[in-house]
Structure 1
Amino acid sequence: MEVLGLSVTTGRYSEFIDKIKHLALSNKSSYVCVANVHMLVEAHNNKSFADIVNSADIVTPDGTPLVWALRLLHKHTQDRVAGMDLLPDLLKQSEQDKIPVYFFGGTEEMIKKTVQFLKVKYPQLTVAGYYSPPFRPMTDTEKTEIERNINRSNAKIVFAVLGCPKQEKWMASMKGKINACMVGIGGALPVLIGEQKRAPKWMQKCGLEWLYRFMQEPRRLAKRYFVTNSIFIWLLLKAMLKQWVALRTNRC
């Protein structure tokens, strides 16, 4: 369903796990975007980025505001499919079904901590490899080598840990080159391993998880949340008004 220019995949939460598992085992190159308000506004401001997101095999409604938008614009009741939930559930499913995983992105320290955490939490999970890219543009030779290493690892799910919009651009550039299902998980690793706390359930349900994260990192997230959220609200109100006018016109 279309939400302010983004084509969002709908369905029950459990169906998303099954769909990603199917993509992972299909031996086809694919990618999954976990869409929140930040991604939607980025796409609104940049058509080429919107094309990247809309070309994804799956676009999950990560943020509660997107779930609300689906209800307001399409009268569709949708489960939230948040990256913070998707990551541990996909890891559990991968352990159960012997699906090798790979991590691309994040700092070397964070990735190593994650791998150690996974050995304890998911002892039967196969981590086929990981790579922390340099904080500079990579050369074509480096990109080709990464592509080869991931394919040689036989990983079926590649978790991209680069943040939006960088990870979506990377996944799109690797579509057709990496024989795995790539999933953009942004900043989910610190929460997964317990370095950052996730918002209480009531804040998640009320769409206030962003506020909880802002209180943890106010300087870094101030502009992103307050400017981006304001733009989203404005776009949603405009879309609702346009829909209302069209409905009134048709009745007349």
Structure 2
Amino acid sequence: MKRNVLGVLVDVTSYAGAVDDILAAARERRPFAVTALAVHGVMTGVLDREHGARLNSFDLVTPDGQPVRWALNVLHHAALTDRVCGPTLTLHVLRAAADEGLPVYLYGSTEQTLDRLVLNLQNTLPALKIAGHEASRFRAARPGEDVELAARIIASGARIVLVGLGCPRQEVFVHAMRPLLPMPLLAVGAAFDFHAGILRRPPVWMQKHGLEWLGRLALEPGRLWRRYLVLNPYYLALLAAQWARLRPADPPPSTTDRPTEFPV
């Protein structure tokens, strides 16, 4: 059930509901695009309507940040008691995939991060089948490279693909690859870095009270200051305007048009 948050359609869902939807698509071998949006992710769709149209074509968009969950509750009376954040959803999906013997493919980040991630997953989820992994090239895809990548993923036997390229690169990638892959693709944000042990997650109390951004800002101020100190207040102002019906928040129509350029 999708609801409008500043023109971006976000699903009213839970961890259990999201995992059920993802695993169903994996069992049935059908394309299924997933992302988890915090404030920054929503604002990328607000500030770039073309990207907003991409986001609105996703099969599942979960409320990653507490402020997005609050928006669903205030604007649409969703009564959500918890968010559905990317790193935690990743763990739930991996556990379910391990239980059902569904192989996964890891795409994105760096070789060093992926090596540590694979080792940690092998230690914590020994039943998990990792069909393959590839680091990001940190450039635009070359002509035909998307078809070659899709062929490698399909040949690996993977039934779920996890994509860690950062927002909004990962959403552009998932949107571009969805027509080529008969399986769920999950844009999981910083999940690779967290589960590889490279980044520390803020304390649980900060996560529950919508202060995870502050913990992350403290860890990476040079990279994240604009995301949080500029976009967060702007998000709140726009949200207040939508609540007061002072600003139209018509969602851009979803698009299935594949981008001419996308990151790999």
- Counterpart of 2:67? 65
Residue 26 of structure 1: aligned partner: 28
Give the conservation status (yes or no) of the 8 Å contact 2:36–2:62.
yes
1:175: which partner in 2? 178
The secondary structure found in structure 2 opposite 1:84 is helix
Aligned residues of 1:36 and 1:61 also touching (Cα < 8 A): yes
**Kept after mapping to 1: 8 A contact 2:136/2:165:** no
Structure 1 residues without counterparts, runs of 5 or longer: 245-252
Deviation at 1:229, TM superposition (A): 0.4
- Whether the aligned pair in 1 keeps the contact of 2:113 and 2:198 (CA below 8 Å) is no
Where does structure 1 differ by over 6 angstroms across 4 or more consecutive aligned residues? none
Q: In the aligned structure 2, how far is the partner of 1:14 from the partner of 1:8? A: 16
Say yes or no: does 1:41 pair with 2:27: no
Deviation, 1:188, is 1.2
In structure 2, what residue type is equivalent to 1:20?
A: I
Corresponding position of 2:153: 150
Of 89, 92, 101 in structure 2, the residue corresponding to residue 89 of structure 1 is 92
The alignment partner of 2:90 has SS state of helix
Separation of aligned partners in 1, 2:158 and 2:86: 20
Counterpart in the other structure of 1:12: 14
1:248 is aligned to: none
Identical columns (%): 34
Matching residue's letter, 1:4: L
Q: How many residues align?
A: 244
Of the three residues 226, 244, 254, the one matched with 1:241 is 244
Note the residue ranges of structure 2 that are not aligned, 5 or more in a row: 248-264
Of the structure 1 ranges 133-142 and 154-163, higher mean CA displacement relative to structure 2 is found in 133-142
**Which of 114, 122, 141 matches 1:119?**
122
SS in structure 1 of the partner of residue 97 of structure 2: helix
Matched, 1:205 2:204: no
Structure with more helix by fraction: 1
1:144-180 deviation digits (Å, cap 9, x = unpaired): 2111101111211100111111111111111220121
Shift of 1:106: 0.5
CA positional deviation for 1:243: 7.1
Paired residues for 1:188-227 under 5 Å: 188-227=191-230
2:55 match: 53
Secondary structure at the residue paired with 1:175? helix
CA shift for structure 1 position 230: 1.5
Distance 1:243 1:76, change over 3 A: farther
**What is the alpha-carbon distance in structure 2 between the residues aligned to residue 16 and residue 134 of structure 1?**
29
2: distance between equivalents of 1:135 and 1:61? 27
Residue 112 of structure 1 deviates from its aligned partner by 1.3
Letter in 1 for 2:93: L
Is contact 1:191–1:197 with CA below 8 Å preserved after alignment?
Answer: yes
The answer to whether the 8 Å contact 1:30/1:176 transfers is: no
In structure 1, give the amino acid aligned to 2:40.
H
Query: Paired residue for 2:254?
Result: none
2:4 alignment counterpart: 2
1:138 shift after superposition: 2.3
What corresponds to 2:188 in structure 1?
185
CA distance in 2, matches of 1:49, 1:119: 35
* TM-score when normalising by structure 1: 0.93
2:186 alignment partner, SS class = strand
